[in-house]
Amino acid sequence: MLDAVLLVLREVLEAALFVAILLALGRKLGMRGAWVWPALLIGLTGSWLLSAQAAAIADAFDGSGAEVLNALLFALAIGCFIIINWLLSDELWDPQQPHSTASQPPRPILDSLFGVIVAASMAREGSEVWIYFSAFGGQPDALLGSLMGGLIGTGLGVSIGVLVYYLFDFQPRRWFLPIYMGLATLVAGGLSMQLARQLMQMGWLDSGRPIWDSGWIVDERGWMGQFLNAAFGYDANPDATQLTCYVVVVLLVLAGIPLRRWRQRVQMEALG
């Protein structure tokens, strides 16, 4: 049962944190959160379909189908975080200044980007949960214990997500938006390290010797390590390729700074 609790908690936690952070961001922007339920439904359905076709997916691309699919889902979420930060560059980098509604991105676009992040996370992580439980099909007693553990893990993951949401929801807008910017940067960077790991497993990127080993500080297999891995892609033994991907994605996320300044310069030149 304990294995089921930890596995399901780890898989549920990422999606729960993404929902909490994006819901809080939407609240600060005056959005209603209509994207949540469609994203959860699509993600849950997608996870079941991926688990049902796991064997066929694994055989694709000369046996690298699972890695290719995971890499695509990682890249999709990373791209959405980058686009969100670019679209909201004015609000995120100057939260105390009022911004006209006309200058803000259309809400349907933000709804879609939020939904894609959550659905991609649920499809990727949820498929592993389905596959795990399917292994107990012929063992009713073991399946029952695993299901109980899965419910506990799901409850813990959702509870953490709710706690994070209310923690952020109570923050004033001028405090929360910079916090979100920092979290989005860390999350996108963490996803990029996991993306790099998938590409290295496929042989598309070269892997090298670990640059450091922080396992003696935070063990990846411990509860804190699993939390940091789910939330920020923590890796105790990253190599140069992973760190390069991390730096590139972080710079892309932070590209909203020069984008905002370029917009301001264009507006000033137009007025002048």
97, pLDDT greater than 60: no
How large a percentage of the chain has pLDDT more than 90?
42
Would you tell me how many other CB atoms lie within 10 Å of the CB of residue 230? 24
Using CB atoms within 10 Å of the CB of residue 12, give its burial: 0 to 12 exposed, 13 to 18 middle, 19+ buried. buried
User: Who has greater pLDDT, 102 or 57?
Assistant: 57
Among 12-16, 29-33, 42-46, which range has the highest average pLDDT?
A: 42-46
Number of domains in the chain: 1
Q: What is the mean pLDDT of residues 183-209?
A: 89
Q: What SS3 class is residue 222?
A: coil
Does the pLDDT at position 72 exceed 80? yes
Q: How is residue 1 annotated by DSSP? A: -
Closest C-alpha among 8, 248, 20, 238 to residue 131: 8
Q: Between the ranges 114-128, 220-234, 254-268, where is the mean pLDDT highest?
A: 114-128
Question: Which residue range is the domain that position 58 belongs to?
Answer: 2-271
State how far the Cα of 4 lies from the Cα of 218, in Å rounded to an integer: 22
pLDDT at 269: 72
Task: List, in order, residues 6 or more apart from 221 with CB less than 8 Å away.
Answer: none
Q: Are 50 and 123 in contact (CB under 8 A)?
A: yes
Q: How many CA atoms lie within 13 A of 81 on its CB side?
A: 33
Quickly tell me which residue has 């909490």 as its tokens: 20
Count Cβ atoms within 10 A of the Cβ of residue 43 and give its class: 0-12 exposed, 13-18 middle, 19 or more buried.
Answer: buried
Q: What is the C-alpha separation between 238 and 234, in angstroms, rounded?
A: 9
Residues in contact with 88: Cβ distance below 8 Å, sequence separation at least 6, in sequence order? 29, 105, 110, 256
Q: pLDDT tens, 82-91?
A: 999 888 877 7
* pLDDT of residue 99 exceeding 90: no
pTM recorded for the entire structure: 0.89
Q: What is the mean pLDDT of the chain?
A: 86
List, for residues 108-154, the tens digit of each pLDDT value.
899 999 999 999 999 998 998 888 888 877 777 777 888 888 899 89
